[in-house]
Amino acid sequence: MLKVKDLNVYYGVIHALKGIDFNVPENKIVTLIGSNGAGKSSTLKAVAGLVKPKGKISFLGHNIVGKRAYKITKQGLALVPEGRHVFVNLSITENLRMGAFGKKYSELKPLYKKAFDMFPILKERANQKAGTLSGGEQQMLALARALMSEPSLLMLDEPSLGLAPKIVAEVFDIIKSLNRGGMTILLVEQNAGLALKIADYAYVLENGAITLEGDAKSVLNNEQVRKSYLGEI
Amino acid sequence: MKKNTIFTISAIVVLFLFLLYASHNFSAYNIRILNNVAIFLILAASYNLINGVTGQFSLEPNGFAAIGAYTAAILTLTPAQKSAMFIITPMVPWLQSVHMAFLPALIVAGLVTAFVGFILGFPVFRVRGDYLAIVTLGFGLTIRVVSNNTISITNGALGLKGIGNYTTLWWSWGWAVLAMIVIMRLINSEYGRAMKAVRDDEDAAIAMGINTFRVKMTAFVTSAFFEGVAGGLLAHLITTISPTLFTFFFTFNLLIIIVIGGLGSMTGTAIATVLVIWGSELLRFVEQPMHIFSLTIPGIPGMRMVIFAILLIIIMIFARDGLMGQKEFSWDSFFKFFKKNKKLAK
């Protein structure tokens, strides 16, 4: 579904991504793991069009390098940004509505129903401002909002960031069940253990380059990964 | 028709009945204040659209109002008036001969300003935050310098005189009501929600598939159009304009109004406009010489601005969101308020 070849990102003189290749096949969860500053978020931003990359990105057979972010989103790619980024002064319904920006009014009703069925907590607070939600609820809202555009590829940037372990487990359950429903997911996580448990395939990023890839299970059992990311000695 | 629409229409009817009464019974001084309120309402509401609703802190309304004022004034002045006025450098011939009625002149003034806003939008929206404020502030200053020096168009520092006194209560309030309706409808549309989304989190808005540049541009151009029209109305109210009228303090006044009213609230802006414009007339007495018992205080011009500055400080400390915050007046909450009070009375 998503094929990335020789992707480079520069921030001024800093070469943040040094020509990485990866694929996201349909109906799979692919995860990018790595430490701070490895280039995980830059990768997602480059794919979503939020930073201008060099290289080849093909999404559903179309080249999307150099396209503007709002056009890439319209092709069926949704990003849940790091740190949630909900619209704090808009109500939950309005937040969801922004996720479906450009959709016709008649198309919205079934989408709302789907979102509220999946996240009942949001239904209870539909008219509350998003800024009044807790961190976990905001993460749910960010997820629900991204799903409103009915994407074919969902990209999640650090969904566990700043959440209590119990909420993290809940969020990951939802991600897993979305995948079972046929959603293709590209997951970026610092919490490597959790990500590898639900993913099908994994890439390890270090200093802007991919150093290891393979089935999530084999990566999980890799000695180097266990030492560097899972804290085992 | 919805119940609330009927209420809104009847409120507008009541407003115009009041204006009808005012136009016959009020003194010229009070009518002038009412006109001022309407013009500043247009300016503040459109300024709030870009500053409060879309969250793009900009400082250009003096520039836009100047463009609108000069355009409208040049169009309504007769060729004879113009040739008499341009004594140092004669006017450019094609502007010299052009002449229009008031309404088309106002609309052209709005369109010209909107076009300038459109062109300005390209460099302006390449930057965000503080830089955007600096770029737009620069534009406001540039316009003043340009109008001072393009003598064959604006008559330079001499300004334009003898502009027809066409701005009546009907013109000013008609445009004010129109501007409020257009801006409120825009805010409550899909595009308006996108504007608020851009204000809250521009990066997330981009990730949602919103073309944020287009959203910001829509707000900016709409705001420019109405500010241009308001500039035209202002020119035909005070009948003489010169570059010194459109200094940064013009923008600063509007900024006070929208901050007091609440950034992002149009009804708050309306209340604040009345308070500030009318209030600054009421406060004229503080600039008169005063005798308190045996103490004599000489009149200090500019004392009113000191009071407004103190008011602004108080608001920033105790009510940072202004009078209305981001909320709007709505009929539902209005009636709910009265019902609650009735229950309390029982």
Contacts of A149 (CB under 8 A, 6+ apart): A73, A76, A78, A99, A100, A101, A103, B208, B209
- Confidence band, pLDDT 50/70/90 cuts, at residue B160: very high
Q: Do A50 and B207 lie within an 8 Å CB cutoff? A: yes
* Cβ-contact B298, B291 below 8 angstroms: no
Residues from chain B that touch A97, judged by Cβ atoms under 8 A, are 190, 193
* Cβ-contact B204, B57 below 8 angstroms: no
**Spatial CA neighbour of B178 closest among B12, B7, B291:** B12
**Spatial CA neighbour of A179 closest among A214, A216, A205, A231:** A216
Residue from the list A68, A73, A89 with its beta carbon closest to the beta carbon of B208: A73
Residues from chain A that touch B190, judged by Cβ atoms under 8 A, are 97, 101
Residue A195 forms part of a structural domain? yes
Q: Do B211 and A149 lie within an 8 Å CB cutoff? A: no
* From A77-81, B162-166, B328-332, B340-344, the region with the lowest mean pLDDT: B340-344
Measured distance CA(A123)–CA(A133) in Å, rounded: 12
- Tell me how many domains chain A contains: 1
Q: Do A101 and B207 lie within an 8 Å CB cutoff? A: no
Measured distance CA(A55)–CA(B180) in Å, rounded: 49
What digits encode the pLDDT tens for the residues B15-50? Answer: 999 999 999 999 999 999 999 999 999 999 999 999
User: How many Å separate Cα B198 from the centre of its chain?
Assistant: 23
Contacts of B117 (CB under 8 A, 6+ apart): B64, B220, B221, B223, B224, B225
What digits encode the pLDDT tens for the residues A122-154? Answer: 988 889 999 999 888 999 999 999 999 899 999
Residue from the list B197, B211, B326 with its beta carbon closest to the beta carbon of A98: B197
Return the residue in B208, B214, B218, B326 with the most chain A beta carbons within 10 A, the one to mutate for interface testing.
B208
- CA-nearest residue to B264 within chain A is A89
What digits encode the pLDDT tens for the residues B128-142? Answer: 888 999 999 999 999
Q: Do A50 and B208 lie within an 8 Å CB cutoff? A: no
* Polymer length in residues for chain B: 346
Residues from chain A that touch B207, judged by Cβ atoms under 8 A, are 48, 50, 69, 73, 78-79, 81, 85
Contacts of B40 (CB under 8 A, 6+ apart): B230, B253, B254, B257, B273, B276, B277
Q: What is the mean pLDDT of residues B46-64?
A: 94
- Residue B279 C-alpha, separation from nearest chain A C-alpha, in angstroms: 31
- CA-nearest residue to B191 within chain A is A101
Q: What is the mean pLDDT of residues B85-98?
A: 87
Most confident of A77-91, B149-163, B210-224: B210-224
HSE-up (13 A, CA, CB side) for residue B313: 6
Q: Do B209 and A102 lie within an 8 Å CB cutoff? A: yes
Question: Whole-model pTM?
Answer: 0.89
Q: Do B203 and A74 lie within an 8 Å CB cutoff? A: no
* Cβ-contact B8, B177 below 8 angstroms: no
HSE-up (13 A, CA, CB side) for residue B210: 30
- Residue B94 C-alpha, separation from nearest chain A C-alpha, in angstroms: 43
Tokens (6 digits) for B108: 């052209």
| Domain CATH code at residue A88 | 3.40.50.300
**Spatial CA neighbour of B110 closest among B246, B232, B229, B236:** B229
Residue from the list A79, A85, A97 with its beta carbon closest to the beta carbon of B201: A85
Residue A125 forms part of a structural domain? yes
* Cβ-contact A66, A128 below 8 angstroms: no
What digits encode the pLDDT tens for the residues A9-66? Answer: 999 888 989 999 999 999 999 999 988 888 888 999 999 988 889 999 999 988 999 8
Distances (CA, A) of B314 to A49, A224, B10: 44, 61, 36
Q: Do A98 and B201 lie within an 8 Å CB cutoff? A: no
Residues from chain B that touch A41, judged by Cβ atoms under 8 A, are none
Residue A233 forms part of a structural domain? no
Residue A158 forms part of a structural domain? yes
- Residue A165 C-alpha, separation from nearest chain B C-alpha, in angstroms: 25
Q: What is the ipTM of this complex?
A: 0.85
Enclosing domain of residue A89: 2-228
Helical H runs in chain A? Answer: 40-48, 69-74, 92-99, 105-118, 120-124, 135-147, 165-180, 192-198, 216-220, 223-228
Residue type at position B191: Y
Contacts of B183 (CB under 8 A, 6+ apart): B45, B46, B49, B222, B226, B266
Residue A23 forms part of a structural domain? yes
Q: What is the mean pLDDT of residues B258-273?
A: 92
- Domain borders along chain B are 3-247
Residue from the list A68, A89, A101 with its beta carbon closest to the beta carbon of B208: A101
The radius of gyration computed from the CA coordinates of chain B, to the nearest angstrom, equals 21
Starting at the earlier edge strand, list the strands of the sheet with A62-63: A14-24, A2-11, A54-59, A62-63
